[in-house]
Amino acid sequence: MGYASRTGTRRNLLALRRAGWRLVLSPTGVLDAEGFRYGLDNGAWTAFQQREPWNAEAFYRAAFQFGPTADWVVAPDVVAGGLASLDLTLQWLPRLDFCPLRLIAVQDGMSAGDVAPHLGPGVGIFVGGSTGWKERSARGWGDLAARVGCYLHVGRVNTRRRIALCADAGADSFDGTSASTYASTLPLLDRARKQLALGGAR
């Protein structure tokens, strides 16, 4: 399943709706699902990019309002923070137990052994981290998700090659900004998504 960053552009929303994509909401953006099914991000990546402190209160308000009906919610993390990120995530997981599916954002420096004890039907994996690490490690996270029977999502996927990596890892879903920013790229990405889903990743 493809998820696109939430956009207010009517043309792009119509294209996404017709293609059957879903949206990603963020506490740093406009919290309006526009009638789409959606996942909820925690806003850490945006704060990291903008060199601003992450706003825990804004995230919790968004999670309380939108988490119970979200497809998934990304628990708080530290971008490229390794085990410090996992420590923060584990502190938050119990506070988000009203969300049906919570995702642990795996980051550079984490291993399957670090994350596996915390996974299950209600807790899955969000493959984050730096670009190179994400691409190198996605297959391993897919193996772990298949072994424990949990959900697997990959973030920042904006090309056919990245969609192929997601399919190879056995991901359930991915998200990116390209399809919501440039309606012209959606047909290419959606064609790749559907071809790879039909062909089977593994």
The whole domain housing 10 covers 2-199
**CATH number of the domain encompassing residue 188:** 3.20.20.60
Spatial distance between the Cα atoms of 163 and 172, rounded to a whole number of angstroms:
11
What confidence tens digit (pLDDT) does each residue in 77-93 have?
Answer: 999 889 999 999 999 99
Spatial distance between the Cα atoms of 22 and 10, rounded to a whole number of angstroms:
14
Q: In this structure, what DSSP letter does residue 78 have? A: -
Length of the chain: 202
User: Among 81, 87, 134, which Cα is nearest to 109's?
Assistant: 81
Provide the angle, in degrees to the nearest 10, between the axes of the packed helices 10-19 and 186-199.
Answer: 20
**116 and 145 in contact (C-beta within 8 Å)?**
no
Greater model confidence, 182 or 164: 164
Mean pLDDT (whole number) for 159-168: 96
User: Lowest-pLDDT range, 60-64, 135-139, 192-196?
Assistant: 192-196
- 194-201 LR contacts (CB < 8 Å, sep 24+): 196/163, 196/164, 196/166, 196/167, 197/167, 199/167, 201/166, 201/167, 201/168, 201/169, 201/170, 201/171
What confidence tens digit (pLDDT) does each residue in 7-47 have?
Answer: 999 999 999 999 999 999 999 999 999 999 999 999 998 99
**42 and 59 in contact (C-beta within 8 Å)?**
yes
Domain count, the chain: 1
pLDDT tier at 197 (50, 70, 90 boundaries)? confident
CA–centroid distance for 196 within its chain: 19
- pTM, entire model: 0.94
Helix then strand then coil, % of the chain, to nearest 5: 50, 15, 35
Question: Left, alpha or beta for 57 (phi > 0: left; psi -120 to 50: alpha)?
Answer: alpha
CA dihedral 97, 68, 163, 109 (to 10 degrees): -20
